[in-house]
Amino acid sequence: MNKEEFEAYLNNRYYDQINWYDKKAMFNQRIYETFQRILIVLSALTPILVGIEDSIWQGRWLAIAVSFAVAVATSALTTFKYHEKWINYRTTCETLRKEIHFYNAKIREYADSEDPEGLFIERVESLISRENTLWLVSEKIKEKH
């Protein structure tokens, strides 16, 4: 592989994948943390609403509605696995990012490689494939439940 082909791979595949995983990680982190904040507030609010005197009839129904929202939000977090996706995408992104540093420094497997560019592409594609397989397995598990 010549230098131009390798640069094309870096620009058209490698950096594109890093950006994709980074965006997906940030999206899932944002969703997860939003759900968590909502759950914290609603969970803390529930006993207060339950403790409101019976003379305030709406307090009881509001407590029921808040409890229902807590149950739905908790189920959504479990079902859609935002936390797990965030961690998986971030791990893949950071692992891909460090690979270019190993390549540039010619350390680890790159130190003695006769084809460091080919090795780099092989390792990057292996990382991407592994994450795709993890995603597929998690989707299959979700379908069974």
> What tens digit of pLDDT does each residue of 22-78 get?
999 999 999 999 999 999 999 999 888 887 766 555 667 888 899 999 999 999 999
Residue 129 is encoded by which pair of tokens? 């494939």
Using alpha carbons, list the distances in angstroms from residue 83 to 28, 34, 35, 40, 53: 7, 11, 10, 16, 38
Task: Pull the structure tokens for residue 51.
Answer: 């403790």
pLDDT-based confidence at 145, cuts 50/70/90?
A: low
Contact yes or no for 87/138 (Cβ under 8 A):
no
**Token pair 């292996």 in the structure block, residue:** 126
Q: Which pTM value belongs to this model?
A: 0.86
Tokens of 19: 């950006």
Domain boundaries, the chain: 3-144
